[in-house]
Amino acid sequence: MPSQTFPHHYAFDPAYGQNLAQLLAIEPPAPPSDFAAFWQTRYQAAIAQDAQPKLTATDQTLGSHRVHALRYRSTDGVDIGGWLLTPLHATPVCGILIGHGYGGREAPEGLAGLDDAVLLFPCLRGIGLSPLAGLSAHPYRHVLHDIQDRNRYVLGGCVEDLWLGVSALLQLFPHIAGRVAISGVSFCGGLGAMAAPWDARIGRLHIQAPSFGHQALRMTLPCIGSGEAVRAYQRHHRFNVMETLAYYDAASAALHLNIPTLVEAALFDPVVPPPGQFAIYNAIPKQWRHLLVLPAGHFDYPGKVAQEQRQQAEAARFLMGQESAS
């Protein structure tokens, strides 16, 4: 398949000159020797905390679900806000934590095909309903927060927000243990790939146009997403950001995945370069990975609405345990 191209105004090629075969040949980076220990230690410390979930009823419904406001406690005393959707006419058979992109979210989404699932839509630290003093919600500033310190870098805290979200779900609905999934797009797609390998409570992972894949390669690729802010930072600072980013590489984390994982990866994407997306997919052990190839990500193109409807239906089947993805 040739590299995907659409008319555009960018000063760079959002297909990066690569076709599908070339993207599928990208090797994931070699992680630091203590990569797994770094994440396992963080995970154990995080889940030792009480998420203290607090539900507030609303008079809203969305599709087949009732909408509740939810707050829970994450690491560093961070208060996470979001929404919890419960089935109107059924006892939930599973739980799905649905992450957002770097634009955040202002409301939960109605998702067809997930009628029997309880759905958690958190806003991760510093974003949306989870403001945090000193932490900007703007992607270009958020992605740089504490980048000089691998132990305090903001992406680590965001992964912990996902883990504590799973804790909140299981405290509220203990009967869904063993049937919890994470679904994330872009920003939370990459974070989901970092979170899932270390958390045995997560049984399925769905990521769309995931960010933070192959950080060393990402540093060489121009884009209009958060990666460009990191590239600009590196040009103006002596600190080598790879000292931190090597530990926050979604492709390195994906090497450790051992659950069914559906990746929607784009051939053309000005925000999250496709080589990084496919590096994540390629890193997943073959027996666990499923792929949906998208014409484009973070970009409007002819037929996008119909394409998204097909994607959403496929993702819903996957998240509910009906593996039909290739």
Model confidence pLDDT, tens digit, residues 181-225: 999 999 999 999 999 999 999 999 999 999 999 999 999 999 999
The count of structural domains within the chain is 1
Q: What is the pTM of this model?
A: 0.97
pLDDT higher than threshold 70 for residue 323: no
- For residue 19, being part of any structural domain is answered with no
CATH (domain of 226): 3.40.50.1820
Q: Reduce the DSSP state of residue 85 to 3 states and report it.
A: strand
Q: Are strands 54-62 and 79-87 parallel, antiparallel or unpaired?
A: unpaired
Domain that holds residue 153: 34-317
Residue 36: phi, psi to the nearest 5? -65, -40
Contact 135, 103 (CB under 8 A): no
**How far apart are the C-alpha atoms of 62 and 319, rounded to whole Å?**
19
| Spatial separation of the C-alpha atoms in residues 278 and 25, rounded to whole Å | 9
Is 1 domain-assigned? no
HSE, CB side, 13 Å, CA atoms: give it for residue 56: 7
Nearest alpha-carbon partner for 276 in 260, 253, 307: 253
Q: Is residue 2 part of a domain?
A: no
**What's the token pair of residue 215?**
């950080």
- Structure confidence at residue 5 (pLDDT): 83
Position 27 scores a pLDDT of 97
Nearest CA-CA partner of 246 in 162, 177, 115, 156 = 156
Residue 323 within any structural domain of the chain: no
Q: What is the reported pLDDT for 13?
A: 97
Determine the Cα–Cα distance for residues 143 and 236; give it in Å rounded to an integer.
16
pLDDT bracket for residue 4 (50, 70, 90): confident
């993805």: which residue's tokens?
325
Q: Does 273 map to a domain? A: yes
- The whole-number average pLDDT for the span 41-47 is 98
The answer to whether residue 29 is domain-embedded is: no
**Domain for residue 15, yes or no?**
no
- Mean pLDDT of the 135-156 span: 98
Identify whether 83 is part of a domain: yes
The residues, any chain, with a CB within 8 Å of residue 258's CB and separated by 6 or more, are: 197, 285, 288
The enclosing H or E element of 232 equals: helix 226-236
